Amino acid sequence: MVSQVKKESFLLWITGLSGSGKTTIGRAVYQKLKSQNLSIVFLDGDSFREILGNDLSHTPEDRIKNAKRISRMCNFLVKQNISVVCSTMSLYKEIHELNQKNIDNYYEIFIECDMEELIKRDQKGLYNSALNGNVKNVVGIDLPYDEPKNCKLTIDNSKKDNLDKKVDQIMDILND
Protein backbone atom coordinates (compact mmCIF):
# COMPACT_ATOMS: atom_id res chain seq x y z
CA MET A 1 0.00 0.00 0.00
CA VAL A 2 1.42 3.36 -1.04
CA SER A 3 1.29 5.97 1.69
CA GLN A 4 -0.45 9.33 1.48
CA VAL A 5 1.61 11.84 -0.51
CA LYS A 6 2.89 15.04 0.98
CA LYS A 7 0.52 17.99 0.88
CA GLU A 8 2.79 20.49 -0.92
CA SER A 9 1.65 21.16 -4.46
CA PHE A 10 3.72 19.60 -7.21
CA LEU A 11 3.90 19.01 -10.95
CA LEU A 12 4.18 15.53 -12.40
CA TRP A 13 5.28 16.14 -15.99
CA ILE A 14 4.74 12.84 -17.80
CA THR A 15 6.36 12.87 -21.22
CA GLY A 16 6.86 10.47 -24.09
CA LEU A 17 6.10 10.00 -27.76
CA SER A 18 2.60 9.67 -29.17
CA GLY A 19 1.26 6.25 -28.25
CA SER A 20 3.73 5.62 -25.44
CA GLY A 21 0.96 5.45 -22.82
CA LYS A 22 1.63 8.75 -21.05
CA THR A 23 -2.05 9.73 -20.95
CA THR A 24 -3.20 6.33 -19.68
CA ILE A 25 -0.55 6.30 -16.96
CA GLY A 26 -1.14 9.99 -16.15
CA ARG A 27 -4.90 9.49 -15.73
CA ALA A 28 -4.33 6.49 -13.47
CA VAL A 29 -1.90 8.48 -11.29
CA TYR A 30 -4.35 11.38 -11.20
CA GLN A 31 -7.19 9.09 -10.07
CA LYS A 32 -5.06 7.63 -7.30
CA LEU A 33 -4.01 11.08 -6.10
CA LYS A 34 -7.55 12.44 -6.38
CA SER A 35 -8.73 9.61 -4.11
CA GLN A 36 -6.45 11.10 -1.42
CA ASN A 37 -8.50 14.32 -1.57
CA LEU A 38 -5.65 16.34 -2.99
CA SER A 39 -6.35 19.55 -4.82
CA ILE A 40 -5.21 18.27 -8.20
CA VAL A 41 -5.78 18.75 -11.92
CA PHE A 42 -5.08 16.47 -14.88
CA LEU A 43 -3.85 18.18 -18.06
CA ASP A 44 -3.31 16.40 -21.35
CA GLY A 45 -1.40 18.01 -24.21
CA ASP A 46 -4.07 17.22 -26.83
CA SER A 47 -6.90 18.46 -24.61
CA PHE A 48 -4.96 21.61 -23.79
CA ARG A 49 -4.74 22.47 -27.49
CA GLU A 50 -8.51 22.05 -27.81
CA ILE A 51 -9.20 24.22 -24.76
CA LEU A 52 -7.18 27.06 -26.28
CA GLY A 53 -8.92 26.75 -29.64
CA ASN A 54 -6.36 24.77 -31.65
CA ASP A 55 -4.77 28.00 -32.86
CA LEU A 56 -1.33 26.43 -33.29
CA SER A 57 -0.06 24.00 -35.89
CA HIS A 58 2.41 21.18 -35.29
CA THR A 59 5.48 22.94 -36.66
CA PRO A 60 8.48 22.98 -34.33
CA GLU A 61 7.87 26.68 -33.54
CA ASP A 62 4.21 26.15 -32.67
CA ARG A 63 5.04 23.04 -30.65
CA ILE A 64 7.41 25.13 -28.52
CA LYS A 65 4.75 27.84 -28.10
CA ASN A 66 2.23 25.24 -26.97
CA ALA A 67 4.68 23.57 -24.59
CA LYS A 68 5.48 26.95 -23.03
CA ARG A 69 1.75 27.63 -22.60
CA ILE A 70 1.33 24.30 -20.84
CA SER A 71 4.37 24.99 -18.67
CA ARG A 72 3.04 28.43 -17.67
CA MET A 73 -0.39 26.99 -16.85
CA CYS A 74 1.14 24.25 -14.72
CA ASN A 75 3.36 26.75 -12.92
CA PHE A 76 0.34 29.00 -12.27
CA LEU A 77 -1.62 26.10 -10.77
CA VAL A 78 1.26 24.87 -8.60
CA LYS A 79 1.71 28.40 -7.23
CA GLN A 80 -2.01 28.34 -6.34
CA ASN A 81 -1.35 25.20 -4.27
CA ILE A 82 -2.98 22.96 -6.86
CA SER A 83 -0.99 19.90 -7.88
CA VAL A 84 -0.89 18.92 -11.54
CA VAL A 85 -0.47 15.68 -13.45
CA CYS A 86 0.43 16.74 -16.99
CA SER A 87 0.76 14.22 -19.82
CA THR A 88 2.38 15.90 -22.78
CA MET A 89 4.98 15.20 -25.43
CA SER A 90 7.21 18.22 -24.65
CA LEU A 91 9.78 17.18 -27.18
CA TYR A 92 12.42 19.85 -26.66
CA LYS A 93 14.98 19.91 -23.86
CA GLU A 94 14.47 23.67 -23.47
CA ILE A 95 10.98 22.95 -22.09
CA HIS A 96 12.32 20.41 -19.60
CA GLU A 97 14.97 22.91 -18.50
CA LEU A 98 12.37 25.70 -18.26
CA ASN A 99 10.23 23.56 -15.97
CA GLN A 100 13.17 22.46 -13.82
CA LYS A 101 14.24 26.06 -13.37
CA ASN A 102 10.83 27.67 -12.75
CA ILE A 103 8.50 25.15 -11.13
CA ASP A 104 8.78 24.08 -7.51
CA ASN A 105 8.33 20.39 -6.74
CA TYR A 106 8.76 19.41 -10.37
CA TYR A 107 8.91 15.69 -11.17
CA GLU A 108 9.61 14.65 -14.74
CA ILE A 109 8.66 11.12 -15.76
CA PHE A 110 9.66 9.72 -19.13
CA ILE A 111 7.47 7.01 -20.62
CA GLU A 112 9.73 5.05 -22.91
CA CYS A 113 8.48 2.86 -25.74
CA ASP A 114 10.31 1.56 -28.79
CA MET A 115 9.31 2.91 -32.20
CA GLU A 116 8.25 -0.48 -33.54
CA GLU A 117 5.66 -0.75 -30.75
CA LEU A 118 4.54 2.87 -31.23
CA ILE A 119 3.89 2.18 -34.90
CA LYS A 120 1.81 -0.89 -33.96
CA ARG A 121 -0.26 1.18 -31.50
CA ASP A 122 -0.64 4.18 -33.86
CA GLN A 123 -4.29 4.95 -32.92
CA LYS A 124 -4.18 8.37 -34.58
CA GLY A 125 -2.52 7.09 -37.77
CA LEU A 126 0.31 9.60 -37.33
CA TYR A 127 3.28 7.32 -37.75
CA ASN A 128 1.94 5.43 -40.75
CA SER A 129 0.91 8.67 -42.47
CA ALA A 130 4.36 10.14 -41.88
CA LEU A 131 6.14 6.99 -43.05
CA ASN A 132 4.04 7.09 -46.22
CA GLY A 133 4.96 10.75 -46.79
CA ASN A 134 1.40 12.03 -46.31
CA VAL A 135 2.03 14.02 -43.13
CA LYS A 136 4.94 16.13 -41.94
CA ASN A 137 6.11 17.26 -38.48
CA VAL A 138 5.61 13.91 -36.77
CA VAL A 139 7.83 13.52 -33.75
CA GLY A 140 10.05 10.47 -33.94
CA ILE A 141 9.73 10.27 -37.72
CA ASP A 142 10.72 13.60 -39.31
CA LEU A 143 10.99 15.69 -36.15
CA PRO A 144 13.60 14.84 -33.52
CA TYR A 145 12.66 14.14 -29.92
CA ASP A 146 14.93 15.25 -27.09
CA GLU A 147 14.63 12.37 -24.62
CA PRO A 148 14.71 13.78 -21.11
CA LYS A 149 18.15 13.42 -19.53
CA ASN A 150 17.46 14.54 -15.96
CA CYS A 151 14.08 12.97 -15.37
CA LYS A 152 13.15 11.66 -11.95
CA LEU A 153 11.90 8.36 -13.36
CA THR A 154 11.90 6.42 -16.64
CA ILE A 155 9.23 3.82 -17.18
CA ASP A 156 9.48 1.31 -20.01
CA ASN A 157 5.96 0.96 -21.40
CA SER A 158 6.81 -1.10 -24.47
CA LYS A 159 4.38 -3.63 -23.02
CA LYS A 160 1.00 -2.39 -21.91
CA ASP A 161 1.09 -4.30 -18.63
CA ASN A 162 1.35 -3.74 -14.89
CA LEU A 163 -0.37 -0.34 -14.91
CA ASP A 164 -0.76 -0.44 -11.11
CA LYS A 165 2.96 -1.12 -10.68
CA LYS A 166 3.85 1.79 -12.97
CA VAL A 167 1.49 4.08 -11.05
CA ASP A 168 3.03 2.96 -7.75
CA GLN A 169 6.53 3.78 -9.08
CA ILE A 170 5.38 7.34 -9.72
CA MET A 171 3.63 7.56 -6.34
CA ASP A 172 6.86 6.44 -4.67
CA ILE A 173 8.84 9.39 -6.04
CA LEU A 174 6.33 11.79 -4.50
CA ASN A 175 7.13 10.36 -1.07
CA ASP A 176 10.94 10.61 -1.32
pLDDT per position in the chain (176 positions), as tens? 455 666 689 999 999 998 999 999 999 999 999 999 889 999 998 888 788 877 887 888 888 999 999 999 999 999 999 999 999 988 788 999 999 999 999 999 999 999 899 989 887 788 888 888 898 888 888 888 888 888 999 999 999 899 999 999 999 999 87
* Continuous segment of H or E residues that includes residue 146: none
- For position 149, what pLDDT does the model report? 83
Catalytic residue positions, numbered: 90
- For position 67, what pLDDT does the model report? 92
**Domains within the chain, CATH numbers bracketed:** 11-114+145-174 (3.40.50.300)
Instruction: Give the separation between CA 129 and CA 122, rounded to whole angstroms.
Output: 10
- For position 4, what pLDDT does the model report? 61
